[in-house]
Amino acid sequence: MRSTLINGTAGRFVSSPEGTALAYGSLLFMALLPIFFGALRSVGCSKSKNASDMPETITSRDAARFPIIASCTLFGLYLFFKIFSQEYINLLLSMYFFVLGILALSHTMSPFMCRVFPANLPNKQYQLLFTQGSGESKEEIVNYEFDTKDLICLGISSVVGVWYILCHWIANNLFGLAFALNGVELLHLNNVSTGCILLGGLFVYDVFWVFGTNVMVTVAKSFEAPIKLVFPQDLLEKGLDASNFAMLGLGDILFCHFFLSFTLSLKKNTRTYFYTSFLAYIFGLGLTIFVMHTFKHAQPALLYLVPACVGFPVLLALFKGELTEMFR
Among candidate residues 53, 62, 147, 252, the one labeled active-site is: 252
In the chain, which ranges are E strands?
A: 5-7, 56-58, 125-132, 139-147, 187-189, 228-232, 245-249
Count CA atoms within 13 Å of residue 71 on its CB side: 17
CA–CA distance, 304 with 190 (Å, rounded to integer): 24
Angle at the Cα of 22 (from 18 to 27), degrees rounded to 5?
155
CA distances 74 to 63, 78, 163, 272, Å, are: 17, 6, 27, 36
Burial of 272 (0-12, 13-18, 19+ CB in 10 A): middle
- Helix, strand, coil shares, percent, the chain, to 5: 70, 10, 20
In the annotation, is 53 catalytic? no
Clarify whether 62 is annotated catalytic: no
Q: What are phi and psi of 121, to 5 degrees?
A: -90, 140
Nearest Cα to Cα of residue 92 among 108, 107, 80, 76: 80
Q: Of 147, 206, 234, 241, which one is the catalytic site residue?
A: 206
* Identity at 250, one-letter amino acid code: L
* Residue 155: count of CB within 10 angstroms of its CB: 11
Pairing of strands 187-189, 245-249: unpaired
Catalytic residue numbers read: 206, 252
